[in-house]
Amino acid sequence: MQSMIHFPPPHRAIENAEDWNDGWEKVLRLPQLAPARAPYFVYGSMLHNIRMDAEDAVQDMMFHLDEMKSLTLSAQRVLSIQAVQHLANDDFERRWLEASPAERRKHLMLAFVKSCGNSDGLNSARTSCGVELRLTRLRLLGRAFIDLLQSAIMLDGTMTSTEPKRIANLDWDRFEAKRKADAHATNEEKLALAQVVLLRTRLICAHPHRQSLYGLELMLIEGQVLTYTLDSFHGNEIKDLVVLKDSRELQKRRASKTPEEKEIYKRMYGLKLANEIMSEEDAGKKERLSHRQLTCSRTGCPARVAELNTKGTPAIKFLRCSQCWVKLKRQVSYCSRECQKEDWSLRHKAICGKAMDFEMASSASSSLSAILKSSNVAPSDILANQIELCTSTPCADYFILSPEKFDFEGISFAHTPSFSVAFRKCRDHAFETRDPTSLARMAHFLCWSSLVPGSERVGVTPRVIVVQLAMEFQTSPEGLNLGILGMQKLQKADPWKRPPLLHGTPPDDWEEACAPEWKTVVINLIEK
């Protein structure tokens, strides 16, 4: 079983990256992790751990399964667009292949450390990526990284999928197909398979982490090893991974070794050395757990991740569902009573206080699934990505791809809440109906706001906004230009010079919020 192999612990990646990776290279050469045998070993280890866990820990995994699938899928869409941008416009492939093995190794090692250094799950997931994520292979064979990056790109027609894209691997594909074909698989076996496949996908190309926007903290979906490597190669800042917080009882159990693990360590290393190793690893695990953060369970909540105060504890006190806690010790947290009430009717009522089986855990609809059900017209691939970005990172109102930065710029109107409310109402109506008037109002407001003094963003111009929205909503830029110019005429005719999207805003609120120069902004859509 997994516990018979001593994995280099996550904290060693931060303390001594070279020693940590050398340890992993030795582990990945073990016969249990040969390519054809690795899926059986990794799955068996996960199944063993699930069976050893208490029921509340299993229910916690069930509860978060669909959410992590949705976030992983969003991350893959973002990675796909960024990868295409780099490969098509940035000459990345040539530059990567011409880089020295030492240069490539520097960026890859940083990506490995940032991916695994704060997460036990992603650290152990290296056992499932022994072919794809071998540092020696990726640094010496520049083509291997390019091929891996291209294999992670979601192609036309798959961007609207409701399942994360698998990274092709013959041994893993055969194993997964075989396990899924088992009509008698138990809930524990189904959960174990879903977890190992998801962890493998997340480590290679998708995991959420936190980023700051206008002083607010939000969950932004990024790729993992692939995107971290791209970011490092292009000199972009790499944020530390944020891991969600377990209940206090789960934290206590997971912060120390089980009696079975202690016995195995003693057999492997002898009593004295085993105690030293276990003490070091337990201290490292407690340190990682101390940085985990609570999240609000309502999808779309702006306080999705709790900000921490100076003592490292959440700045706001979270509520939790009493029925789930009393009956199952399942932690379902909310930042406010309002979020708890809203989530009740949308999602939580069906599972409150009930033990979840695998089918229940897999049936919750992602934000994209909800849009698909409420609309008669399937969204374009890039609109599907926009929908997932907006619903997964609720502190931003829209995302525009900057052609100069090869990255998404989060647009937020949170500084004026009434603006944000009006924009989101129009945006969501456009998402669901593709209504051209709503699209024109939204596009005009984005173009207008991009020109307001003090709000400029690198590479985000009215022309960029028009081209992106035209692609997302499958209309012509020329037609959208006409709609925006029509909205500009309506703004000019308004006595208070309000953008049409804000015509419902009381004049007094508008006058209080806007600066005089906002009223004279002119959108020039003529391409020079």
**Are 134 and 21 contacting, i.e. CB atoms less than 8 angstroms apart?**
no
Number of domains in the chain: 2
Q: Is there a single domain that holds both residue 374 and residue 231?
A: no
- Three-state secondary-structure class, residue 366: coil
Give the residue-averaged pLDDT of 341-357. Answer: 82
- The answer to whether residue 335 sits within a structural domain is no
**pLDDT confidence of residue 209:** 44
As given in the structure block, the two tokens for residue 112 are 């490995």
- Is 525 inside a domain boundary? no
Q: Which domain holds residue 489?
A: 370-520
Model pLDDT for residues 254-289, shown as the tens digit of each residue: 555 667 777 777 777 677 777 777 777 777 666 655
- Measure the CA–CA gap between 107 and 182, rounded to whole angstroms: 41
For residues 111 and 229, the answer to whether their CB atoms sit within 8 Å is yes
The 10s digit of each residue's pLDDT in 285-337 is 666 555 556 677 776 565 555 444 445 555 567 888 999 888 888 888 888 88
In a domain, 411, yes or no: yes
Asked if residue 90 is part of any domain, the answer here is: yes
Query: Cα–Cα distance between 106 and 122 in angstroms, integer?
Result: 20
Q: Is the pLDDT of residue 344 over 80?
A: yes
Per-position DSSP letters for 257-280, written without gaps between them: --HHHHHHHHHHH-HHHHHHHHHH
Task: Work out the average pLDDT over 94-116.
Answer: 93
Look up the pTM and report it: 0.67
State which amino acid sits at residue 466.
Answer: V
What is the length of the chain?
A: 528
Least confident of 241-245, 282-286, 345-349, 361-365: 241-245
Residue 291 within a domain: no
Which of 235, 270, 293 lies at the terminal end of a domain, its last residue?
A: 235
Identify whether 300 is part of a domain.
Answer: no
